[in-house]
Amino acid sequence: MATYSCGLFLAAFSVACSSPATPEGADAANNNSASADSSATGAAANSPLQVVAEFREPQIVGVAVLPDGRTFGDFPRWDDNPVAPVAEIGTDGSVKPYPDATWCMWNETTRNEPQKHWICPQSVHADKTGMLWVLDPASPGLKATVPGGPKLVKIDPATNKVVQNISFPENVAPRKSYLNDVRVDTQNSYAYITESGEGSLVVVDLKAGKARRVLTKHTSMLGDTTLNIKADGHEMIDATGKRARFNADGIALSQDLQYLYWKPLTSYKLYRIKTEALRNPALTDAQLAQQIEDLGKVPACDGMEIDAANNLYLTAFEDHSIKRRTPNGKITTVVQDTRLQWPDTFAFTADGTMYVTASAIHKTPTWNKGVGKQDQPYWIFKMALPK
């Protein structure tokens, strides 16, 4: 899942957060879903993508779907100050703050309780037992973490209550870090997180509630600034003239839980390592590095996920597509559709349905000389996984 957006928000954040334009607990006007008719615009002929929901603002990034079909999204505090940064999304496209309005509130009056509020949630993930996890890097506007704010939160959807809240100290989530995406191994009670600010992995012992940061700034964690990464045919260059460099981002667990896959976003390389090695705190970074496998070239992508047959799916934003890499390394295009404006994050369900968000990150002001060029809704799509 990506972590990049406009700098205009930074200066406005202190004002915007203390003076939200919409009442807490209400569906924000800028969070309204657009009409379904507009979703057909730009659809590829015979596209298998079906619109689940669409939003004009704020920007959706992550999606999670429970076994009973309940759908959740997250809207990080980058350029906007969403009333529902984590939300349950209704079948009619409505947005409800989750788990409640208090958790979704962040302003000057709540800063003394950074562990009880969503600050800048980046990822929502449903594990195999049906629990919902929210990863909050706590870095509004992507500027720096709020002290005491970075956390991984487990919610029981049956009660809509937080059942575990793991706070990450600064030696795990430094001020310049950005916790990006998470996968949960319920069998061994571990979670694995990509950290894209400095480039690292975070390994979380869920039973102990403790975390370690590993492989910080290792080559496999860092984006490649020599690449001409493009979206919509335009190179990603910020207002200062710097090429986009996005570090460790996409993450996936093999079905047997034996391997963790990841890649930097601005890179054409895919890596994996045995999870057994990551769970061994006695191993040094140098020893872990020796166990990293370079799996060769893949498209630049944001999100990743693995299906029941261990095929790896990638959200290939450079050509508006979703790719599939088989276990033997063969890469094919699953779907290509111009509505996939920066396909971002996946959620797979047990019945073989793939959900994916389109977050249009390349159209945000950061990559357009300070002028936002979002000309379509942000979307959640779904389709059947190919056989």
CATH number for the domain spanning 258: value is: 2.120.10.30
Task: Please give the C-alpha separations between residue 337 and each of 260, 353, 358, 381, in angstroms, as whole numbers.
Answer: 29, 18, 11, 11
Q: Is 185 within a domain?
A: yes
Q: What is the biggest distance separating any 2 CA atoms in the chain, rounded to whole angstroms?
A: 56
Q: Is 28 within a domain?
A: yes
Amino acid at 25: G
Task: Please give the C-alpha separations between residue 176 and each of 137, 223, 288, in angstroms, as whole numbers.
Answer: 10, 16, 23
**Is pLDDT above 60 for 16?**
no
Model confidence over 218-233: pLDDT tens digits?
999 999 988 888 998 8
Q: How far apart are CA 268 and CA 168, in angstroms?
A: 30
pLDDT for res 25: 36
Strand order through the sheet with 248-253: 248-253, 259-264, 269-274, 293-297
What is the pTM assigned to this prediction?
Answer: 0.89
- Report the mean per-residue pLDDT for the chain: 89
Whether the CB-CB separation of 267 and 314 falls below 8 Å is answered with: no
Q: Determine the average pLDDT of the residues in 15-24.
A: 31
Q: Is 2 within a domain?
A: no
Task: Provide the strand spans (E) within 27-150.
Answer: 50-55, 62-65, 71-74, 86-89, 95-97, 123-126, 132-136
> Which pLDDT band, with edges at 50, 70 and 90, does 371 fall under?
confident
Q: Determine the average pLDDT of the residues in 34-50.
A: 62
> Which pLDDT band, with edges at 50, 70 and 90, does 1 fall under?
low
**Is pLDDT above 50 for 236?**
yes
Other beta carbons within 10 angstroms of residue 201's beta carbon come to: 23
Q: Determine the average pLDDT of the residues in 353-359.
A: 98
Q: How far apart are CA 267 and CA 45, in angstroms?
A: 30
Instruction: For residue 97, say if its preceding peptide bond is cis, omega within 30 degrees of 0.
Output: no
Q: Is 1 within a domain?
A: no
Q: What share of the chain is helix, strand, coil (3-state, %, to 5)?
A: 15, 35, 50
Between these two residues, 243 and 173, which has the higher pLDDT value?
173
Q: Determine the average pLDDT of the residues in 323-329.
A: 97
Task: Provide the strand spans (E) within 122-174.
Answer: 123-126, 132-136, 151-156, 161-167
Residue whose token pair is 């950005």: 178
**H or E stretch including 251?**
strand 248-253
Instruction: For residue 99, say if its preceding peptide bond is cis, omega within 30 degrees of 0.
Output: yes
Give me the sign of the Cα torsion angle 361, 365, 368, 371.
positive
In sequence order, what are the residues at sequence separation of 6 or more whose Cβ sits closer than 8 angstroms to the Cβ of residue 302?
1, 2, 249, 250, 265, 315, 317, 342, 343, 344, 345, 361
Between these two residues, 81 and 337, which has the higher pLDDT value?
337
**Is pLDDT above 90 for 165?**
yes
Residue whose token pair is 């003394």: 112
Q: Which two tokens stand for residue 17?
A: 């957060």
Question: What residues form DSSP beta bridges with 71?
Answer: 65, 89
Overall number of domains in the chain: 1
Which of 359, 362, 363 shows the shortest CA–CA distance to 1?
359
**Lowest mean pLDDT, pick from 16-20, 93-97, 180-184:** 16-20
Q: Is 374 within a domain?
A: yes
In sequence order, what are the residues at sequence separation of 6 or more whose Cβ sits closer than 8 angstroms to the Cβ of residue 46?
none
Q: Determine the average pLDDT of the residues in 313-325.
A: 98
Q: Is 67 within a domain?
A: yes
Q: Is 3 within a domain?
A: no
Q: Determine the average pLDDT of the residues in 255-271.
A: 97
Q: How far apart are CA 9 and CA 119, in angstroms?
A: 14
pLDDT for res 42: 61
pLDDT for res 372: 87
Model confidence over 99-139: pLDDT tens digits?
999 999 999 999 999 999 999 999 999 999 999 999 999 99
Q: What is the CA radius of gyration of the chain?
A: 19
**Structural domain for 194, as ranges:** 8-40+47-384
Q: Which two tokens stand for residue 284?
A: 């040094």
DSSP for 355-383, written as a single string: EEEE--GGGSGGGTTT-----S-EEEEEE
Phi, psi of 141 (to 5 degrees): 70, 10
CB-side neighbour CA atoms (13 Å) of 365: 12
**149 exposure class (CB count in 10 Å sphere: 0-12, 13-18, 19+):** buried
Q: How far apart are CA 201 and CA 216, in angstroms?
A: 7
Model confidence over 237-258: pLDDT tens digits?
888 888 888 999 999 999 999 9
